[in-house]
Amino acid sequence: MTIGAHQSPTRLSDDWITPPRIIKALGQFDFDPCPSSIQKSGYLGMKSWEYGTDARVQDWPKDARIWLNPPYSKGLGLWLSKLADHGNGIALIFARTETKDFCDNVWEKADAILFLRGRITFLLPDGKKPSGNSGAPSCLVAYGSNNVGALYQSGLSGTVIRNWLNTGLQRGD
């Protein structure tokens, strides 16, 4: 199984690159468990495993701040669960709020969500722009209070929702 970023129904590939401006807006990350085929360890200052490594079965660096742009083809829940257990990182996923993976790993575990305005145009493995955008809305999911702050301070266009389920607050507090 190829482990990369997003799947395109027309390209049947998970190898898509997040526009660097999105990652840079969120501050410095230490580790990317899902690099693209052209990203090498050290891309935007992040360490990573070799492309194709199934990071779901690896031990992630304990104190690392994780950037996660997981494969969209299958296994999203496993990626999000691993990041939630790690507790320090931001994931970029489609804003499919009704799905089991979103309900189990975002609504129940995340600290905040930035619903991005518009659709992202991910880059192809050769670094070029494709003819169309991602085809669905995306969101950034924060695990850990430092990452909640990064969403608010990013300057990215969209709306941040603090997940009150994880704050210990009750409705009306």
Query: Which string of b and e fits 71-85 if b means at least 16 CB within 10 Å?
Result: bbbeebbebbebbbe
Give residue 66's identity as a one-letter amino acid code.
Answer: I
Check residue 3 and give its pLDDT. Answer: 38
Residue 98: count of CB within 10 angstroms of its CB = 6
pLDDT in tens, the chain (173 residues): 333 444 344 444 566 778 889 999 999 999 998 877 666 656 777 888 776 777 778 889 999 999 998 887 778 899 999 999 999 999 999 898 888 999 999 999 999 999 999 888 776 667 677 665 556 789 999 999 999 999 999 999 999 999 866 655 554 54
Predicted structure pTM score: 0.82
Tokens of 119: 């659709």
Cα four-point dihedral sign 5, 11, 12, 13: negative
Tokens of 72: 């969209």
Check residue 109 and give its pLDDT. Answer: 94
Domain boundaries, the chain: 20-166
Task: Report the CATH number of the 20-166 domain.
Answer: 3.40.50
Q: What is d(CA 90, CA 100) in angstroms, rounded to the nearest whole number? A: 19
